[in-house]
């Protein structure tokens, strides 16, 4: 692809299969208050967790094409499943702009874990079974303290806003029933939808620390904007909305839909203190 001029006043494109990536968007807004964003939720194709890698690559390519067409200066794949399947493809195809992926926070969890305790990585099936997570664990898990647990239904529970502990707690208890949970210091929330359930994770496992990849991703985004010298100077901040929301290529303008998204942003702000 040809080298294109990137405009520091353009938006940063943040992309997920659905609304889970709002957890990353909000972290990025906290860290980069001068920036403007486009949030792309591929709601027509959610969930990605049970799709083939080939299908996911096709979806991320379409979403990236849309955001670049709209002039985004950087792309954040705020989806562990899409990063696992498609980040290499995107970086190769769109090599003129920074493409930032997210990965389960395995490395910081291992580094901060207390002696004799273990780390449990939770994610969608496609992330859990992926080569990327396997390599990440091989690289950092020197003492074999990491276990993996797929939670296939949780992302769609977030899409349907099924957050009530009466529904979520029994689901999580059932999934965790085969494990001795007293062994764990950390649970890695390796899907961007999962931080929306931090209250239920904490209700079941009060002594276990939760960690997600949003902080590392936001910090890496900031570093990449600096490296490419495309950090916004904030002088066009008043022009246009802070975040433009898009659902599978259709800009969200409906007031009720915007309110629904704002409600999820609010939920994230309320719960974000529960994650390390």
Exactly one of 38, 79, 90, 189 is catalytic; which is it? 79
Examine residue 98 and tell whether it contacts ligand DGL (CB under 6 A). Answer: no
Least Å from the CB of residue 147 to ligand DGL? 18
Give the range of 132-140, 187-195, 201-209, 263-271 binding ligand DGL by CB under 6 A. 187-195
Examine residue 80 and tell whether it contacts ligand DGL (CB under 6 A). Answer: yes
Examine residue 192 and tell whether it contacts ligand DGL (CB under 6 A). Answer: yes
For the chain, helix, strand, coil in percent to 5 are 45, 15, 35
- Helices assigned H by DSSP within 78-123: 80-93, 106-112
Least Å from the CB of residue 191 to ligand DGL? 4
Distance CA 47, CA 79 (A): 11
Exactly one of 68, 82, 191, 210 is catalytic; which is it? 191
| Structure-block tokens of residue 223 | 């570093």
Structural contact between residues 64 and 42, judged by C-beta atoms closer than 8 angstroms: no
Q: Please, which of residues 105-124 interact with ligand DGL by CB under 6 A?
A: 124
Spell out the SS3 assignment of 170-182: HHHHHHHCCCCHH
* Cβ-based neighbour number of residue 260 at 10 Å: 13
Among 46, 64, 210, 261, binds ligand DGL (CB under 6 A): 46
Question: Residue holding tokens 């915007």?
Answer: 258
Give the range of 42-50, 220-228, 238-246, 265-273 binding ligand DGL by CB under 6 A. 42-50
Examine residue 127 and tell whether it contacts ligand DGL (CB under 6 A). Answer: yes
Distance CA 162, CA 171 (A): 11
Among 47, 101, 150, 195, binds ligand DGL (CB under 6 A): 47
C-alpha distances (whole Å) from 207 to each of 124, 181, 275 are: 24, 10, 12
Taking the least distance from each CB to ligand DGL, the nearer of 10 and 49 is: 49
Examine residue 49 and tell whether it contacts ligand DGL (CB under 6 A). Answer: yes
Q: Which residues in this chain contact ligand DGL in the complex, by CB under 6 A?
A: 16-18, 20, 46-49, 79-81, 124, 127, 155, 191-193
Which residues form the catalytic set?
79, 191
């Amino acid at each position: 692809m040809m080298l294109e001029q990137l405009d520091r006043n353009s938006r940063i494109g943040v992309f997920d299969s659905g609304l889970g990536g709002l957890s990353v968007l909000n972290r990025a807004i906290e860290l980069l208050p001068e920036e403007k964003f486009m949030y792309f939720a591929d709601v027509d194709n959610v969930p990605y967790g049970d799709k083939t890698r080939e299908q996911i690559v096709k979806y991320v390519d379409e979403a990236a094409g849309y955001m670049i067409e709209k002039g985004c200066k950087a792309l954040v794949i705020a989806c562990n499943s899409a990063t696992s399947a498609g980040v290499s493809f995107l970086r190769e195809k769109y090599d003129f702009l920074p493409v930032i992926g997210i990965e389960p926070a395995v490395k910081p969890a291992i580094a901060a874990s207390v002696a004799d305790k273990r780390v449990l990585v939770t994610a969608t099936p496609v992330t859990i079974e992926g080569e990327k997570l396997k390599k990440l664990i091989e690289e950092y898990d020197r003492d074999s303290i990491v276990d993996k647990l797929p939670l296939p239904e949780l992302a769609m529970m977030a899409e349907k806003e099924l957050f009530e502990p009466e529904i979520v707690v029994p689901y999580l208890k059932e999934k965790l029933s085969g494990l001795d949970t007293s062994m764990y210091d950390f649970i890695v929330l390796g899907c961007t939808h999962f931080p929306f359930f931090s209250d239920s994770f904490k209700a079941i496992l009060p002594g276990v620390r939760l960690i997600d990849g949003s902080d590392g991703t936001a910090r890496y985004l900031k570093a990449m904007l600096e490296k490419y010298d495309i950090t916004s100077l904030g002088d066009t901040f008043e022009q246009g909305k802070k975040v433009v929301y898009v659902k599978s290529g259709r800009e969200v303008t409906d007031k009720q839909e915007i309110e629904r998204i704002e409600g999820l942003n609010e939920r994230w702000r309320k719960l974000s203190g529960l994650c390390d």
